[in-house]
Amino acid sequence: MTDRSSTAAPSSALKLFVTRLHFYVGLFVGPFIFVAALTGTLYVLTPQIEDVVYRDQLRAASTGTPQSLAAQIGAARAAIGEGPKLFAVRPATADGYTTRMMFTAPGLGDSENRAIFIDPVSLAVQGDLTVYGTSGILPFRTTLDYLHRNLLLGDFGRHYSELAASWLWVSVFGGVLLWFWRRGVPKSSAAKGASARRLHGRIGVIIAAGLLFLSATGLTWSRWAGDHIDRFRSEVGWITPSVSLDLGAGAVAVGGELAEHQGHGAMAAPSSPPAIPEADVIGRMDQVLAVARAGGIDSPMVEIRPPRSAGKAWMVREYDRGWPTQVDTIAIDPGTMAITSRADFKTFPIVAKLIRWGIDAHMGILFGVANQIVMAALGVALMAMIVYGYAIWWSRRPAPGGSPKTLIRAFSYLTLRSKLIIIVLAAGFGVVLPLMGASLIVFVLIDLVRWGLTGLVDGSGTQEAGRAG
């Protein structure tokens, strides 16, 4: 094989390499990004639909003075039976809404609970549904959440969304560079795919910042890259404070804001101390809420979690992740009713706040309807850009039997310094983002196969590198 790196200008060779990489990401990863954009758009558009679908469960049928939480728990216990264990209580957020009693039950997934919806005035049971996560989303949106995250395929399916998030930012930077390099270059409207190429580029530049945001926040939820991000945050101190429920420690613990995606079982003490009788829990529920209100828990969206075992504290937390964000948490000693630990959002380090806001904005809940509209528009624009990208490829696809335009060929035209820099960057990102590294290897193998089927690089390569400039 003849090394052509010296026959093309370095700038032209780099442009050709970026063009090839951008094309490969679009061609092979584009479908995964499209599905992630489609399912994510559906998710952010559905809170209002969920409110309508589950109106009978969410809205109380009677009005008046609500009965005690103890009485409401008793009604839920009578409905669900003695088996499931009380996990948490979410009092009605306003007049006309139901109280949510959440129980652990066999067969549920991580962060899932069985919720009994109680009319706080009449104590009538108005629903029995599985709820998920910190937001307590109901089955309709839970399905969309799983569809977006793993295509309903469990842990294996999470690879698809991680692959999309891993390459999205690379595609964005590559696309912006190509748009910048091509500014001012005369374009013929009669050229194949000219209209699609123009729209593809314009949309990409307009939404580039939003796509980078989606990629970064999406990676925090990923399986492999997310673990690396969590370890990095722990090492540099970018951790989110949380309360300590250990009455013996009395210190502030730390925990990620993504803990809702972990199994609830991880919260139990490893030595399995004796559980607190439920009668004691029920009897203190109203008192705990009063202590929490006096202690600064003032959001209407509040969740009360009983002690898991003897020696553990009650946890009361806010879960209003809109704007302004109210996610303060306190721990309360069940014996003295004193607040033993607290984590107030206003005291969080700025990085922890930015991460919280970033995740909530990604989910479309930080700024309410405005956030939903922006995220939906971003998702639709991304899908349109991908469609235009495929239209460009189809209109300019190579003729059968032609010399293949491969990533390896484009790499071969680079200077030695550029090659070394790209190899180091690829290795580094391949370690941090494992699915990016694995898929890059697949790209290279595809190149080798195409190359082997059509012969070695010929003299047309120099002209191709020249045209990239």
Report d(CA 111, CA 87) in Å as an integer.
Answer: 11
Residue with tokens 């190509």: 178
Report d(CA 390, CA 443) in Å as an integer.
Answer: 18
**Is the Cβ–Cβ distance between 101 and 93 less than 8 Å?**
no
pLDDT digits (tens, 9 = 90+) for 106-143: 999 889 999 999 999 999 999 999 999 888 999 999 99
Which residue, among 322, 303, 222, 294, has the nearest Cα to 264 in the 3D structure?
303
pLDDT digits (tens, 9 = 90+) for 82-113: 989 999 999 999 999 999 999 999 999 889 99
pTM: 0.88
Report d(CA 466, CA 469) in Å as an integer.
Answer: 6
Neighbours of 246 (CB within 10 A): 16
- Predicted pLDDT at 188: 63
Q: Is the pLDDT of residue 378 over 80?
A: yes
Query: What is the mean predicted confidence (pLDDT) over 198-211?
Result: 96
Handedness of CA 87, 252, 257, 324 (dihedral sign): positive
Highest mean pLDDT among 282-291, 401-410, 458-467: 282-291
Residue 108, judged by CB atoms within 10 A of its CB (0-12, 13-18, 19+), counts as: middle
Residue with tokens 């008046």: 64
